Amino acid sequence: MPPSLLLLSLILILPFSAASSLPLHLSQTTHLRRPQSAPAPPQQYIEVARPLPFDSLTPSCILPLLSHTFSTPTTNATYSSPTNCSWSNAVLHFSAASNGSHRGRIAAVWLSSAELARTSTPEPTPEGTFWNFRKDVTRYASLLRSSNLTLSVALHSLVGQVSNDTYNANVTFLYYDVNKTDHAVTAPLTLIRHEQSSEYLEMNENPADLIVPISAPGDQGHWFKIEKESDSVSRKFQIPSNTYRAVIEIYVSSHDRDEFWYSNPPDYYLEINNLPSKRGHGSYREVAVKLNDNLVGAVIPFPVIYGGGINPLFWQPLVSIGAFYFPSYEVELTPYLGIMLEKENSLHSLGLEVADALPYWLIDANLHLWLDSNGDRVSAGPIEYSDPRIRLERESKFHELDGKFKVEGETKREVSGWVNSSAGNFTTHVYGKVEFQSKLMLKHGGKKVRVKQEVKVVDEVHVRSNLGHSVAEVARERRYPLQVRATVMPGSENETYWIAAELEHSFKEEKKGSGGLRSELENRQKCRGWMFVRDCQILSGAAATSQSYYAKDGYGCYARHVLADGGAVKNDTHSFVCAPTASS
């Protein structure tokens, strides 16, 4: 049998339950039988998101680039920037349909090996499935304005081989000319003032001038596969001598044994209890970024739950936060420009690792670079550096299958460096703080499971002139709390189980900066349901998911509340006017 992509509750509980003679593997041919009340075909899946600010405008041009029915894991097309088209913002429209039964896929789109978007596939239904999303890809403008690039799409199977499924995917780019005046008002730029003249050098919200992909060559997609902590994937690169700012953007997803890493117990718990499960290594994972083998940053990934996760009925038709729009993570590397610019024409390397990784992770990154348009050379050097390695405390108490496992950690990093460009000699100071806390509790012989995780990440970037004046600053805080509770009870028939589960999680982000930059986002889901299961097939079940989404920034405000119950949307309200307290 193929490796399994199981329902979380099964993964969590079956290995812990005394009656663990149960099948731990899910056959790829099993169909998810949905409750009788399920809606008619084909199932359209939705990730609640905010409409893009320029959705109401007519695109200056539309470029349908790819329409493909997958028979191999990847497909390519040639991209050329549309001619005779004036645009300031670009959107990637991805739509896909499947009429197969294969569950668990992940897909991504790359342009010239730089990842633009990552998405997971929703659960198959007998009637077929359909989903689509629009993503603002303006930050990749330097690539989108080029021609003769390879656009590639990979559809990677998470569960064994695919037989007779059909996946059809379309990729279209839309280009908008957002009125410059409006743009300036609504998308505040953080400006750096030239010290001598009064010229302005734009920073922050402006797309990079150059993007260097840190990705794999790619006949299976341009992501690197990481199977263990010591797997370090890296790419050699060189940057132009007039680079004045550098940011690395990371895309990452966890699969198989680490799909539910936040609920993995320590290895010795599995060993002492003689459990066959290989989902161990504790419940902390961290993606580390290394420049020439030195640690320069680390991020904790937001736990995206795939369509079959925890209780598949939770995600019909509202998919989990991030399931269609995987978030990416940024690390400001400007203070390290002194190293990256050292010795002209010499190669440096950027590497990625996952702490405590189990098979497997798909990961790659884009190095965004801003160039000094008034000079062909900048000089740069370091000022201060502190090791960003997180220090963790782990605590375990258990007796047989019941126990409590805690992981807690906090790290602070501070780094600064100067860059002398045509705009002046500026010092970039980066301050970062990560707080992590996770608890896993098992009761009643492992039949009752509770997971609680809190992550808080703060990043601040301050740019100062030699005279000590603040020329730009931006602060960002992300939080992603997660709570899962699940209980399993044997059914009256042989090999049947009742599983009740609850989940509450959110993605919160707040940004503040000079030039009036201020934005808030809070996306929260609460799910509750039960299912009656035999051989990893859902015989019956019911679930409800409520989601509230709140976003506020220079473009305005958007609030939406959606309630799905029994596989259908029951309530869906939104507003473009938010009450001051709407975020509560």
Ligand X SMILES: *[C@@H]1O[C@H](CO)[C@@H](O)[C@H](O)[C@H]1NC(C)=O
Does residue 148 bind ligand X (CB under 6 A)? Answer: yes
In the complex, the smallest distance separating the C-beta of residue 456 from ligand X, rounded to whole angstroms, is 30
Tell me which residues in 110-139 interact with ligand X (CB under 6 A).
128
Is residue 337 close enough to count as binding ligand X by CB under 6 A?
Answer: no
Site string for ligand X, 47-86 (x = CB under 6 A): --------------------x----x-xxx-------x--
Per CB under 6 A, which region of 397-405, 422-430, 437-445, 519-527 contacts ligand X? Answer: 422-430
> Is residue 29 a contact point for ligand X (CB under 6 A)?
yes
Q: How many residues bind ligand X (CB under 6 A)?
A: 38
| Binding to ligand X, residues 353-382 (CB under 6 A) | 375, 379
Decide: is 206 part of the binding site for ligand X (CB under 6 A): no
CB of 179 to ligand X, least distance (A): 4
Total number of residues shown for the chain: 584
Return the number of the residue (94 or 530) whose C-beta is nearest ligand X.
94
- Can residue 492 be called a binding residue for ligand X (CB under 6 A)? no
Interaction between residue 483 and ligand X (CB under 6 A): no
Token pair listed for 332: 């400001």
Structure tokens at 522: 């809070």
The yes or no reply on residue 395 touching ligand X (CB under 6 A) is no
Does 497 bind ligand X (CB under 6 A)? Our answer is no
Binding ligand X by CB under 6 A: which of 563, 569, 578, 582? 563
User: Rounded to whole angstroms, how far apart are CA atoms 224 and 351?
Assistant: 11
Residue 196 binds ligand X (CB under 6 A): no
Pick the stretch among 232-240, 405-413, 414-422, 477-485 that binds ligand X (CB under 6 A): 414-422
Nearer to ligand X, 395 or 535 (CB): 535
What burial class does residue 279 get, using C-beta atoms within 10 Å of its C-beta: 0-12 exposed, 13-18 middle, 19+ buried?
buried
User: Cis omega (within 30 of 0) on the bond before 360?
Assistant: yes
Give all strands (DSSP E) within 336-423, no chain letters. Answer: 348-355, 361-371, 379-385, 391-399, 402-421
Residue 548 CB, nearest approach to ligand X (Å): 10
- Does residue 545 interact with ligand X by CB under 6 A? no
Q: Are 337 and 380 in contact (CB under 8 A)?
A: yes
* Burial (CB count within 10 angstroms: exposed 0-12, middle 13-18, buried 19+), residue 49: middle
Closer residue to ligand X (CB): 21 or 581: 21
3-state secondary structure 423-492: CEEEEEEEEEEEEEEEEEEEECCCCEEEEEEEEEEEEEEEEEECCCCEEEEEEEEEECCEEEEEEEEECC
φ and ψ of 207, to 5 deg: -60, 150
Q: According to the binding rule CB under 6 A, does residue 573 interact with ligand X?
A: yes
Say how far apart CA 305 and CA 320 lie, in whole Å.
6
Q: Which of 418, 549, 555, 558 binds ligand X (CB under 6 A)?
A: 418
Q: In 152-216, where does DSSP find H-type helix?
A: 180-186
Q: Which DSSP string do the residues of 225-246 spell out, in sequence order?
A: EE-STT--EEEEE---TTEEEE
Of residues 265 and 335, the one with the C-beta less far from ligand X: 335
Of 116-124, 404-412, 420-428, 535-543, the window that binds ligand X (rule: CB under 6 A) is 420-428
Which residues, 6+ apart, have CB-to-CB distance to 83 below 8 Å? none
Residue 94 touches ligand X, criterion: CB under 6 A: no
DSSP state, residue 73: S
Q: Which is nearer to ligand X, 145 or 395 (CB)?
A: 145
Among 88, 95, 396, 537, binds ligand X (CB under 6 A): 95
Q: How far is CA 344 from CA 83, 241, 277, 341, 366, in A?
A: 35, 7, 51, 7, 21
Q: Which stretch binds ligand X (CB under 6 A): 91-99, 189-197, 400-408, 449-457?
A: 91-99
Part in contact with ligand X (CB under 6 A); list of ranges 93-101, 307-315, 336-344, 437-445: 93-101
Task: Single out the residue of 420, 483, 496, 583 in contact with ligand X (rule: CB under 6 A).
Answer: 420
Q: Which is nearer to ligand X, 271 or 342 (CB)?
A: 342
By DSSP bridging, strand 537-553 and strand 233-237 are: unpaired
How far CA 176 is from CA of 88, 92, 210, in Å, comes to 6, 12, 21
Query: Hey, what are 241's tokens?
Result: 């001598």
Minimum distance from CB of 490 to ligand X (Å)? Answer: 11
Using the rule CB under 6 A, which residue among 6, 11, 90, 96 binds ligand X? 96
Q: Which residues of 52-81 are buried (b: 16+ CB within 10 A; e: fewer)?
A: bbbeeeebbbebebbebebeebbbeeebeb
Of the pair 152, 311, the CB lying nearest ligand X is at: 152
Does 166 sit near ligand X (CB under 6 A)? yes
Residues 6+ apart with CB under 8 A from 126: 31, 41, 101
**Alpha carbon distance 303, 326 (integer Å):** 10
CA distance 448 to 501: 10
Say whether residue 97 binds ligand X (CB under 6 A): yes
- Check residue 427 for interaction with ligand X (CB under 6 A): yes
Out of 122, 218, 403, 529, point to the residue binding ligand X (CB under 6 A). Answer: 218
Give the footprint of ligand X on this chain (CB under 6 A): 29, 67, 72, 74-76, 84, 95-97, 99, 101, 128, 148, 150, 152, 163-164, 166, 168, 170, 179, 181, 218-219, 375, 379, 418, 420-422, 425, 427, 466, 494, 563, 571, 573
